[in-house]
Amino acid sequence: MIKEIGKVGLDKFRQLRSRLVYEMRSGMNSPTVDVDKQQNVLIITIDCLRNDRLSVSGYHRKTTPFLDSLNSYSPAIAAAPWTFSSVPSILTGLYPHNHGAAYPDDSSRNQDLSNPPNGIRDNVHTLADLLESVGYKTRFITAIGTAAIPIKGRFKSVKPRHDVDAGDILSDIQRWWNNTSGPKFGYVQLGDLHEPLHDPQIEYFDEIPNIDGIDRWRFGSPDEVQNDKFERYRSARGLLYDTLLRYVDEEIERVLDELAELKDTIVIVTSDHGEEFWEYKSFEEEHFEDSRGISGVGHGHALVPPVLEVPIITNLESISGSTTRRSSTDIVPTILSEMDATVNVEFDGEPLQEPSTGETALLSQEIAYGPNQISVTEGNEHLIYVPTTDRSVLIDFETGEQIDDPETKSRLMNYVPRERATGSSVELSDDVQKQLSDLGYAE
């Protein structure tokens, strides 16, 4: 049985209604699934895609014209700020403290590749498990090796393609898809926006300056002065990021145009987490500790808005889209709801088909660097809590302004889970460690 922990789990469970049926069964080993509408499923996760860089969100560059054209778009809070814990949430509908792909305690972390976090708990079911039980064929392709580690054994076919660009990854899933009969579920993790950034094939916007180290994160140490050199680098790196996002958008359009049975396919485009571009550098240095001595850049280190807010975009006509934030744990319930599925599994998320009031508290947790953090977001009130020191800070999600409101802090603290469970330990081969090191993870 997946244990329901804290007020958040109870509140969300009570809100789940309509076509999904959840039955708590102690000692359950196999899922029971009944699907009325058998549809293919394709999830495309764009690693490091922050929500406010989509043109549909009002960004000044037209970065995502194709994704803007799909039927529904909602901003969402990623269940974790890095791939290892976030992808399992996308695939299980559970927060990390329930699915178990996390470090076993809240003490300081440094994403040591010789001592990785634990994988998903054995008695937690992924969407692949649920769909395979009713005859689906499943395939997982990723340019980011971290995505495949915690879900080992859950897909019939897993194909890591280290640091390969979106065109090749999407063509790979297309070949499998168009040559596979029967119902199918494909999952794709694109790494184009993840360090190291590639040279773009096309410069859609301005010419990208030739600046040393633009493909990697620089100016992350507290003692690095923000001067003219820094400003040139920041501007150029942002332009490179936007250019690669426009390329990814174009490649997704190309492959969906060539995908067989698209009209019978549920398509979800999302991200496992966003990316920070120095917006919260001083804030992090004041309130948090990063074991690498880095602040303000990348992801995995702090539960700040640019790292947490991601999009959920679908082709489903049953979802109108909303500016109200949802959760990445809503993806699995949304897919099963669209299929009129009945399952004996509990989820923390709820279907996007069910309108949100905006008053549901959304969680994020399990950082990769420094003592663990847990965040609770309700509307624009964003609480970040550090369990090891029992300290918390409240900010406005939109402006980043710190809020002095003890009553709101106390109320949001009621949503913080007080218990957690982790899965089995995992081991990384030397090849996998080398690939992850190349992506910027510590050795």
Question: Is 1 domain-assigned?
Answer: no
Are residues 380 and 396 in contact, defined by beta-carbon separation less than 8 angstroms? Answer: yes
Contacts of 363 (CB under 8 A, 6+ apart): 8, 77, 79, 95, 327, 348, 374, 375, 376, 377, 415, 417
How many domains is the chain built from?
A: 1
Burial (CB count within 10 angstroms: exposed 0-12, middle 13-18, buried 19+), residue 70:
buried
H helix or E strand, kind and range, residue 306: helix 305-308
C-alpha 304/C-alpha 443 separation (Å) is 25
- Read off the DSSP letter of residue 262: G
The pLDDT of residue 14: 35
The pLDDT of residue 31: 79
The pLDDT of residue 436: 67
Dihedral sign of CA atoms 360, 417, 80, 52 in order: positive
What residue type is 169 in one-letter code?
A: I
Are residues 283 and 303 in contact, defined by beta-carbon separation less than 8 angstroms? Answer: no
Taking the chain (443 residues) in runs of 10, the rounded mean pLDDT of each run is 35 36 40 89 98 96 97 95 97 98 91 80 96 96 94 94 95 97 97 95 95 93 80 96 98 96 95 97 94 91 97 92 91 96 93 79 95 96 97 97 97 95 82 71 58
Question: Is 443 domain-assigned?
Answer: no
Reported residue count of the chain is 443
Range of the domain at 210: 6-438
Question: Is 140 domain-assigned?
Answer: yes
Question: Is 71 domain-assigned?
Answer: yes
Dihedral sign of CA atoms 404, 413, 99, 326 in order: negative
Give the domain CATH number at 226.
Answer: 3.40.720.10
C-alpha 150/C-alpha 87 separation (Å) is 8
Cα 424–chain centre separation: 21
C-alpha 161/C-alpha 148 separation (Å) is 11
Question: Is 377 domain-assigned?
Answer: yes
Pick the closest to residue 269 from 202, 328, 347, 340 (CA basis).
328
Question: Is 152 domain-assigned?
Answer: yes
C-alpha 429/C-alpha 435 separation (Å) is 10
C-alpha 99/C-alpha 412 separation (Å) is 22
Pick the closest to residue 385 from 301, 314, 287, 246 (CA basis).
287
Cα 130–chain centre separation: 20
DSSP string, 86-133: HHHHHHHS--HHHH--S-SSSS-EE--TTSPPP---TTPPPHHHHHHT
What are the C-alpha distances in Å from 131 to residues 5, 34, 148, 290? 26, 10, 18, 39
Contacts of 345 (CB under 8 A, 6+ apart): 2, 22, 31, 125, 130
C-alpha 265/C-alpha 258 separation (Å) is 13
